[in-house]
Amino acid sequence: MKKLLAAFIGSMALAAAPVAVSAEATKELKVAYDSDPVTLDIHEQLSGGILQLSHMTFDPLIRWTKDLGFEPRLAESWERVDENTMRFTLRKGVKFHSGNEFTAEDVKFTFDRLKESQDFEAIFKPFSGINVIDDYTFELVTSEPYPLLLNTATYIFPLDSEFYSGKTEDGKDKGAILKHGNSFASENLSGTGPYTVSERRQGVRVEFERFDDYWDTESPGNVGKIVLTPIKEDNTRVSALLSGGVDFIAPVPPNDLDRIKRDKNANLVTMSGTRIIIFHMNQERVEAFKNPKVRQAIAYAINQEGIAEKIMKGFATPASQLSPAGYQGHNENLKPRFDVAKAQQLMKEAGYEDGFTITMMSPNNRYVNDDKIAQAAAAMLARINIKVDLKTLPKAQYWPEYDNRAADMMLIGWHADTEDSANFYEFLTFCPDADTGSGQYNAGNYCNPEIDALVQKANVETDLDKRSAMLQEVEQRLYDDAAFVPLHWQDLAWASKKNVNIEPVLNVMNFPYLGDLVVE
């Protein structure tokens, strides 16, 4: 009877308002990632896992498309008012999980909170403020012309300001961001996204349920419930998919790619990624590294293609620069330059024909096959008479060593949070400066103020063609100078059962838009 009544009321509602017919979201999806979200507060940590959660439970103002363009989400349209200001118009009739109406005030609340977040404030530093014009219009203002304004807008996932304001029963501020200890926001969530969190046991499982009043009725997504289980062990994660225990896994370890490809019930998607893996050569620790010829010799001695093919099993794109294809700084002319004879000759010219001994460090559980890459690189350097003492460490111990610059060559992987070339330079090749924080991960102590100035200039250039030319010049100069040794961009891989159509919702940023996922 109740059902009948509900159906009746439902049909009345249908008759009353012309509602777009959305796909019936009834499918259940079991997902296994290598970890579950650390917290439900999307401003507590800037990490892949949290961004994946953000895209499931919140919506950004705009989001990246597959080809690195932008598509409107909560912001319907945007226009430049002057060179420091961008005006956004918001979608109307969007509801938060709590039932509250979404307005520009929520965007302001979110923006202010982002500026306070330790992890996000660096990204939002160029912004000087936000002007709310009316309920559905606001302006983002930067202190200088900022070409990456839209890139940054993809990080604004509006929070429900009413939900996160006020005090909890024990008198704590609901909006507080706490790095450790429990906050209201780390356990409760209200966004505009396709899913709500219905149950969560940290480290064991998270359950998501489709939000009934989700604004995007045109989304083809038909998944009504998602159960996310963290499975850290690569082998177990793959087994869970092959045995039918889960429908979708990520990441797929390179060693199991063939196994999944061969399985007739599984579906594998791979993509060239944007995370660059490089070695820094510390000029402060090793006198020889100050000589560009020695650095070039090392760059010539390392066989990127060999590493990508043999060690990464083809699961990497050999790199000669920091910016991956599709980024503004990507310079087509730069090619990997493996040539042992040339390397030996350069060593000779530099007066180091007999070579020298250096130390090298690498993590062994942070990047795909990181320790094996370091071993291979050490073997390659032996051919130009550089003897390497290699030490590999688990990541928890590696980063403190990295901060101390504890070895002559250190391996690091970097993904640009802004999806833009300049981020690479700012962290990896800028002259290290403890006060401004620039060059924070520049373990080579490479310093070329001219290049830094060029990047700074590009950072206020809003003409994207001009900017692109500048950044490509930066790549060229870093390449000529052999400021570091680029290795490869790590590929990405996901796998699912055949009936789960993952390909359309995946992207190179590795946040699957699961709200739009179609399960047959």
Partner 1 sequence: MLAFLVQRISQAFLVMFVISVIAFAIQDGLGDPLQEMVGMSVSAEEREAIREELGLNDPMVLQYLRFAGKAIQGDLGNSYFYSKPTLEVIAEHLPATLELVIGASLIIIFLSVPIGVYAAIRPQAWLSKFFMGVSTVGISIPVFLTAIVLIQLFSIGVTVTWFPVDTGWGQWLNEALSTEGGLPSYGRGDDLVHLFGTWESGFFSSDGWMHLVLPSVSLASIMLPLFIRLIRAEMMEVLQSDYIRYARAKGLSAGRINFLHALKNTMLPVITVGGVQIGIMVAYTILTETVFQWPGVGLMFLEAITRSDIPLIVAYLMVVGLIFVVTNTLVDLLYGLVNPTVKLTGKKA
For partner 1, the closer of residues 239 and 448 by Cβ is: 239
In whole angstroms, what separates CA 93 from the centre of its chain?
A: 30
Helix (H) / strand (E) element for 464: namely helix 464-481
Cα distance between residue 284 and residue 357, in whole Å:
15
- Minimum gap (Å) between residue 118 Cβ and partner 1: 5
φ, ψ for residue 428, nearest 5 deg: -105, -30
Residues from 122 through 141 that contact partner 1 (CB under 8 A): 122-123
Per-residue binding letters, 243-272, with partner 1 (x by CB under 8 A):
xxx---------------------------
Where in 19-48 is the site for partner 1 (CB under 8 A)? Answer: 32, 38-39, 45-47
As a dihedral over the C-alpha atoms of residue 260, residue 266, residue 267, residue 273, rounded to 10 degrees, the angle is -40
- Map tokens 């979200």 to a residue: 37
Question: Contact between 177 and partner 1 (CB under 8 A)?
Answer: no
498 near partner 1, judged by CB under 8 A = no
Residues 296-325 close enough to bind partner 1 by CB under 8 A? none
Q: Which of 376, 350, 351, 358 is nearest to 482 (CA)?
A: 350
Handedness of CA 15, 19, 23, 26 (dihedral sign): negative
Decide whether 92 or 395 has the Cβ nearer to partner 1: 395
- Least Å distance, CB 376 to partner 1, is 24
What character string, x for contact with partner 1 (CB under 8 A) and - otherwise, covers 181-220?
xx---x--------------xxxxx---------------
Task: Kindly state the number of chain residues that form the binding site for partner 1, as judged by CB under 8 A.
Answer: 51
Six token digits for residue 463: 């003409």
Q: Buried (b) or exposed (e) across 35-72, using 16+ Cβ within 10 A?
A: ebbebbbbbbbbebbbbbbbbbbbbbbbbbeeebebeb
Burial class (CB in 10 A: 0-12, 13-18, 19+), 5: exposed
Nearer to partner 1, 128 or 436 (CB): 436
- Residue 468 backbone phi and psi in degrees, to 5: -60, -45
Q: Which is nearer to partner 1, 12 or 396 (CB)?
A: 396
Binds partner 1 by CB under 8 A, chosen from 417, 419, 420, 491: 417
Kindly report the length of the chain.
Answer: 520
User: Which DSSP state fits 311?
Assistant: I
Closer residue to partner 1, CB minimum distance, 36 or 461: 36
Site string for partner 1, 440-459 (x = CB under 8 A): xx------------------
Residue pointed to by tokens 């990464």 = 312
Q: Judged by CB under 8 A, which of 396, 463, 466, 480 binds partner 1? A: 396
Q: Which positions touch partner 1 (CB under 8 A)?
A: 32, 38-39, 45-47, 118-119, 122-123, 178-182, 186, 201-205, 227, 229-233, 235-236, 239-240, 242-245, 365, 394-400, 403, 414, 417, 427, 434, 437, 440-441
